[in-house]
């Protein structure tokens, strides 16, 4: 019986066709990495990290985005072991390990002795998808954020990030987070309801490909929660996003966030798999 030959290496622009084929095996789940690959073309100066490829007999079997976020792609059990070994050898310290739970949890088991304990392990995150507009009447007030509304919207972005992730996004690199919010607004990827100069609701598209996009940063002003704002507002975001960005809308949510899950299900999101996020 012939022995399988395996190797690991950083992927380069010459590997794009094979990597695209791998990512397209599950375009919704892999859209974050596909977005990063499409926007950087695997040019290291833009990627801010590497994408590792695991090969068997010269064929790309699995990949792993290794930057601020570690994200396994179509990872086999052996690939997860090799990726973990490489991450530890590189002595990197990302902010999170994110992706399908079936990949993230065994990878984290290998990384935890060196990287743990996790600041916030989120082990059950329903990954949800919408392929059509919602039957819920969309809130007509939802619209893209205007460039000159940055100062109005930015405090809500900071508040939401701090509440959701548990750290201040301005700590250590204030300009970096401000630039990211400004970029999303400039792209037309930030949506909002503003009344009397106050952000009532907001959400952004964090990543997009030709096939799908991912909603993030869903926020309702604390004083207005529990009034049924999120559902119709997000239905409005879905309609506008599907018309202008990508035909399929995805998101993932913490299992314990019952109110958010109910709102997403009410407007038509359906769980297709489960993610996990290890926040470091």
Position 2 scores a pLDDT of 63
Position 1 scores a pLDDT of 60
Please, is 105 exposed, middle or buried when counting C-beta atoms within 10 Å of its C-beta (0-12, 13-18, 19+)?
A: middle
Could you give the CA distance from residue 233 to residue 185 in angstroms, rounded to a whole number? Answer: 18
Binned average pLDDT, 10 residues per bin, the chain of 280 residues: 84 97 98 96 88 96 96 98 96 92 98 95 97 97 97 96 88 84 97 97 97 96 94 97 98 93 95 97
Could you give the CA distance from residue 248 to residue 231 in angstroms, rounded to a whole number? Answer: 18
- Sheet containing 270-279, strands listed edge to edge, beginning at the edge strand earlier in sequence: 6-10, 50-56, 59-66, 69-73, 96-100, 270-279, 120-130, 248-252, 212-220, 198-208, 190-195, 143-144
Residue that is written with structure tokens 């794009």 in the block: 16
Q: What is the pTM of this model?
A: 0.94
Q: Which domains does the chain have, with CATH numbers?
A: 6-116 (3.40.630.30), 130-275 (3.40.630.30)
Longest CA span, the chain? 73
Could you give the CA distance from residue 228 to residue 155 in angstroms, rounded to a whole number? Answer: 22
Q: Taking the mean position of all CA atoms in its chain, how far away is CA 154?
A: 20
């Amino acid at each position: 019986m012939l022995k399988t030959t395996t190797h690991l290496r950083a992927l380069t622009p010459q590997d794009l066709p094979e990597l695209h084929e791998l990512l397209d095996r599950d375009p919704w789940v892999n859209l974050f990495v596909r977005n990063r690959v499409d926007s950087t073309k695997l040019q290291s100066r833009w990627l801010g990290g590497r994408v590792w490829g695991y090969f068997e007999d010269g064929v790309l079997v699995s990949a792993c985005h290794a930057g601020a976020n570690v994200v396994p792609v179509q990872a086999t059990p052996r690939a997860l072991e090799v990726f973990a070994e490489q991450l530890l050898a590189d002595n990197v310290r990302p902010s999170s390990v994110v992706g399908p739970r079936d990949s993230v949890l065994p990878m984290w088991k290998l990384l935890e002795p060196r990287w743990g304990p996790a600041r916030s392990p989120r082990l059950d995150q329903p990954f949800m998808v919408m392929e059509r507009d919602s039957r819920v009447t969309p809130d007509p007030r939802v619209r893209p954020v205007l460039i000159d509304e940055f100062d109005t919207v930015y405090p809500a972005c900071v508040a939401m990030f701090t509440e959701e992730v548990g750290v201040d996004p301005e700590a250590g690199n204030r300009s970096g987070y401000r630039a990211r919010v400004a970029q999303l607004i400039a792209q037309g990827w930030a949506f909002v309801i503003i009344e009397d100069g106050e952000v009532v609701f907001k959400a952004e598209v964090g990543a997009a490909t030709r096939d799908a996009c991912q909603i993030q940063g869903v926020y309702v002003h604390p004083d207005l929660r529990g009034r049924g704002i999120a559902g119709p507002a997000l239905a409005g975001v879905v309609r506008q996003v599907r018309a202008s960005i990508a035909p399929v809308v995805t998101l993932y949510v913490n299992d314990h966030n019952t109110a958010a899950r109910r709102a997403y299900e009410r407007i038509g999101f359906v769980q297709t798999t489960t993610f996990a996020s290890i926040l470091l």
